[in-house]
Structure 1
Amino acid sequence: MKLTLIALLLLFNVVMPSLANDEIAAFRRTDTGVSIVYQGLPTSIDQRVSLEVIADGIIHVASAPLNSQAPVRKSLITVDTLRSMASDWTMEAIGDTLILRTATLLAKVSLRTGVVDFRDRHDRPIVAEQRRDSRTFAADAYDGDAFYRIRQGFRVSENEGLYGLGQHQNGVMNYQGRQVTLLQYNTMIAIPFLLSTKNYGILWHNYSITKAGDIRPLMPLSAFKLHAADGQQGWLTATYRDRREPEKLWLTRPESDIAYLYLSDQHKLPQEVDLANALVEYEGKIESPYTGLHRLHFTYSGYVSVWVNGELKEDRWRESWNAGSFEIDMPMVAGEQHSVRIEWRPDGGQAYLGVQWQRPISESDKTLFSFGSEAGDAVDYYFIAGNDMDEVIGGYRQLTGRAPIMPRWSFGFWQSRERYKTQQELEDVAAEFRKRRIPIDNMVQDWSYWREHDWGSHDFDPERFPDPEGMVKRLHRNNFRVMISVWPKINEASSVYQRFKDKGWLYMRNIYDGRKDWIGKGYTSTFYDPFNPEARQGFWELMNEKLYKKGFDAWWMDASEPDIHSNININERKSVMQPAIGSSVRYYNAYPLENARSIYEGQRQTDPNRRVFILTRSYFAGQQRYAAAAWSGDISSRWHDMSDQIAAGVNFSMSGAPYWTMDAGGFLVEKRFHRPNTDDLEEWRELNARWYQFGAFLPVFRAHGQFPFREPFNIAPEGHPAYNSMLYYISLRYRLLPYIYSLAGKTYVDNYTMIRGLAMDFGDDERVLDINDQYLFGASLLVNPVTEKGATSRTVYLPKGPGWYDFHGGGYHAGGQTITAAAPYERMPLFVKAGSIIPVGPPLQYTDEKPPKEITLLVYAGADASFTLYEDEGTNYDYERGQYSTISFTYDDEGRQLVISDRKGNYKGMLKNRRFNVVYVDARQAQGFDNAPRKAKAITYSGKEKRIAL
Structure 2
Amino acid sequence: MKKLFSLVVAVAAMLNVSAKTETKIEVKAGGYTCTATFLSPTIVRVTKTPDGKAIEGKSMVVTMQPQENVKVSRKEDGANLVLKSADLSVALEKATGRVTFSSEGETLLREKSFTLEERITGADKGSYIAGQVFTLDADEAIYGLGILQDGKMNRRGTHRYMIQGNTEDYQNVIQSVKGWALYWDNYSPTNFDDDENGMSFRSEVADGVDYYFMYGQTVDGCISEMRELSGQVPMFPLWTYGFWQSKERYKSLAELTGVVHKYREQGIPLDGIVQDWQYWGSHYLWNAMEFLGDGFQNAQAAIDDIHNHNAHLMITIWSSFGPQTKGYREMAAGNHLFDFSTWPQSGIESQWPPRMDYPSGVRCYDPFSAEARDIYWNNLKRLYDMGLDGWWMDSTEPDNFDFKDSDFDHPVDGGKATMRRLRNAYPLACVGGVYEHQRAVSDEKRVFIMTRSGYAGQQRYGSNVWSGDVGSSWEIFRAQIPAGLNFTLTGNPNYNTDIGGFFAGAYNKGWNDGSAVHNPLYRELYTRWMQYGMFCPVFRSHGTEVPREVYLYGKPGEPIYDAMVSTIRLRYRLLPYIYSTAWQVTSNAQSYMRPLVADFREDKRTWDMGYEFMFGKSILAAPVVHAQYTPEKSVSVDAMSGWDKKENKDNFDVANVDFSQPRSTTKYLPAGTRWYDFWTGKQYDGGQEVELKTTIDDIPMFVREGSIVPLGEEMQHTGEKKWDNLEIRVYPGADAAFTLYEDEGDNYNYEKGIYSTIDFKWNDRARRLTVETRKGEYPGMLTERRFTVKLPDGQEKTVAYEGKKVSVKF
Q: With structure 1 as the length reference, what TM-score do the two structures score? A: 0.77
Q: Within 5 A, what are the aligned runs for 1:741-780?
A: 741-780=579-618
- 2:481 is equivalent to residue 650 of structure 1: no
Aligned residue for 1:526?
363
1:10-67 alpha-carbon deviations (Å, 9 max, x no partner): xxxxxxxxxxx9867333223463242323xxxxx43111122111111111111225
Q: Within 5 A, what are the aligned runs for 1:717-796?
A: 717-790=555-628, 792-796=663-667
Distance 1:118 1:177 in 2: 22
- 2:785 is equivalent to residue 949 of structure 1: no
Distance 2:683 2:538 in 1: 29
Secondary structure at the counterpart of residue 474 of structure 1: helix
Q: Within 5 A, what are the aligned runs for 1:346-357?
A: none
Distance 1:502 1:728 in 2: 53
1:296-325 alpha-carbon deviations (Å, 9 max, x no partner): xxxxxxxxxxxxxxxxxxxxxxxxxxxxxx
Closer, same or farther: CA 158–624 of 1 in aligned 2, 3 Å? same
Unaligned regions of 5+ residues in structure 1, if any? Answer: 1-20, 40-44, 215-360, 926-933
Aligned residue for 1:289?
none
Distance 1:935 1:629 in 2: 40
Aligned residue for 1:473?
304
Residues 49 and 55, structure 2, Cα contact 8 Å, conserved in 1: no
Distance 1:147 1:516 in 2: 37
Q: Percent identity?
A: 35
Aligned residue for 2:17?
27
Distance 2:23 2:554 in 1: 63
| Structure 1 residue 415, shift from structure 2 partner | 0.5
| Structure 1 residue 429, shift from structure 2 partner | 0.6
Distance 2:720 2:406 in 1: 50
Q: Within 5 A, what are the aligned runs for 1:10-89?
A: 25-31=15-21, 33-39=23-29, 45-66=30-51, 69-70=53-54, 72-79=56-63, 82-85=65-68, 87-89=70-72
Aligned residue for 2:6?
none
Q: Within 5 A, what are the aligned runs for 1:561-710?
A: 561-565=397-401, 568-569=402-403, 571=405, 574=408, 578=412, 580=414, 581-670=416-505, 672-676=507-511, 681-710=519-548
Distance 2:731 2:326 in 1: 60
Q: Which residue identity does 2:144 align to in structure 1?
A: G
Aligned residue for 1:213?
193
| Structure 1 residue 551, shift from structure 2 partner | 0.8
Distance 1:900 1:448 in 2: 52
| Structure 1 residue 498, shift from structure 2 partner | 2.2
Aligned residue for 1:174?
154
Q: Within 5 A, what are the aligned runs for 1:464-503?
A: 464-503=295-334
Residues 802 and 863, structure 1, Cα contact 8 Å, conserved in 2: no
Residues 837 and 867, structure 1, Cα contact 8 Å, conserved in 2: yes
Q: Which residue identity does 1:571 align to in structure 2?
A: D
- 2:75 is equivalent to residue 92 of structure 1: yes
Q: Which residue identity does 2:179 align to in structure 1?
A: N
Distance 2:108 2:404 in 1: 36
Match of 1:449 among 276, 279, 282: 279
Residues 113 and 131, structure 1, Cα contact 8 Å, conserved in 2: no
Closer, same or farther: CA 89–517 of 1 in aligned 2, 3 Å? farther
1:520-544 alpha-carbon deviations (Å, 9 max, x no partner): 4551211011000010011011000
> Which has the higher mean CA deviation after the structures are superposed, 937-946 or 548-557?
937-946
Distance 1:698 1:672 in 2: 24
Q: Within 5 A, what are the aligned runs for 1:872-911?
A: 872-911=743-782
| Structure 1 residue 123, shift from structure 2 partner | 2.4
Q: Within 5 A, what are the aligned runs for 1:146-185?
A: 146-185=126-165
Distance 2:744 2:344 in 1: 50
Aligned residue for 1:402?
232
Distance 1:948 1:719 in 2: 39
- 2:707 is equivalent to residue 836 of structure 1: yes
Aligned residue for 1:544?
381
Secondary structure at the counterpart of residue 550 of structure 1: coil
Secondary structure at the counterpart of residue 538 of structure 1: helix
Secondary structure at the counterpart of residue 248 of structure 2: coil
1:859-878 alpha-carbon deviations (Å, 9 max, x no partner): 11122222111111110111
Closer, same or farther: CA 702–515 of 1 in aligned 2, 3 Å? closer
- 2:214 is equivalent to residue 384 of structure 1: yes
Distance 1:577 1:488 in 2: 17
Q: Within 5 A, what are the aligned runs for 1:229-240?
A: none
Distance 1:474 1:573 in 2: 44
Closer, same or farther: CA 607–140 of 1 in aligned 2, 3 Å? farther
Distance 2:125 2:721 in 1: 58
Distance 2:79 2:800 in 1: 67
Distance 1:141 1:97 in 2: 37
Secondary structure at the counterpart of residue 832 of structure 1: strand
Closer, same or farther: CA 372–942 of 1 in aligned 2, 3 Å? same
Q: Which residue identity does 1:406 align to in structure 2?
A: F
Secondary structure at the counterpart of residue 519 of structure 2: helix
Closer, same or farther: CA 728–573 of 1 in aligned 2, 3 Å? farther
Unaligned regions of 5+ residues in structure 2, if any? Answer: 1-10, 351-357, 630-662
Larger of the two Rg values belongs to structure: 1
| Structure 1 residue 510, shift from structure 2 partner | 4.3
Residues 23 and 70, structure 2, Cα contact 8 Å, conserved in 1: no
Q: Which residue identity does 2:251 align to in structure 1?
A: K
> Which has the higher mean CA deviation after the structures are superposed, 899-908 or 422-431?
899-908
Q: Which residue identity does 1:621 align to in structure 2?
A: A
Residues 685 and 716, structure 1, Cα contact 8 Å, conserved in 2: no
The two structures, once aligned, show a CA RMSD in angstroms of 2.2
Residues 866 and 888, structure 1, Cα contact 8 Å, conserved in 2: yes
Secondary structure at the counterpart of residue 692 of structure 2: strand
| Count of matched residue positions in the alignment of Structure 1 and Structure 2 | 755
Distance 2:22 2:460 in 1: 26
| Structure 1 residue 687, shift from structure 2 partner | 1.3
Bigger strand share: 1
Secondary structure at the counterpart of residue 240 of structure 2: helix
| Structure 1 residue 912, shift from structure 2 partner | 2.1
Aligned residue for 2:98?
115
Secondary structure at the counterpart of residue 470 of structure 1: helix
1:458-506 alpha-carbon deviations (Å, 9 max, x no partner): 1213531111111111111111110000011112243442222112121
Aligned residue for 1:131?
113
Closer, same or farther: CA 71–646 of 1 in aligned 2, 3 Å? closer
Match of 2:679 among 808, 811, 818: 808
Closer, same or farther: CA 472–765 of 1 in aligned 2, 3 Å? same
Residues 507 and 522, structure 2, Cα contact 8 Å, conserved in 1: no
Distance 1:398 1:560 in 2: 25
| Structure 1 residue 739, shift from structure 2 partner | 0.4
Residues 114 and 131, structure 1, Cα contact 8 Å, conserved in 2: no
Distance 1:766 1:910 in 2: 45
Q: Within 5 A, what are the aligned runs for 1:422-441?
A: 422-441=252-271
Residues 665 and 692, structure 2, Cα contact 8 Å, conserved in 1: yes
| Structure 1 residue 437, shift from structure 2 partner | 0.8
Closer, same or farther: CA 572–783 of 1 in aligned 2, 3 Å? farther
Secondary structure at the counterpart of residue 303 of structure 2: helix
| Structure 1 residue 142, shift from structure 2 partner | 3.9
Q: Which residue identity does 2:687 align to in structure 1?
A: G
Residues 465 and 494, structure 2, Cα contact 8 Å, conserved in 1: yes
Residues 449 and 465, structure 1, Cα contact 8 Å, conserved in 2: yes
Distance 1:898 1:769 in 2: 34
Q: Which residue identity does 1:563 align to in structure 2?
A: D
Q: Which residue identity does 1:736 align to in structure 2?
A: L
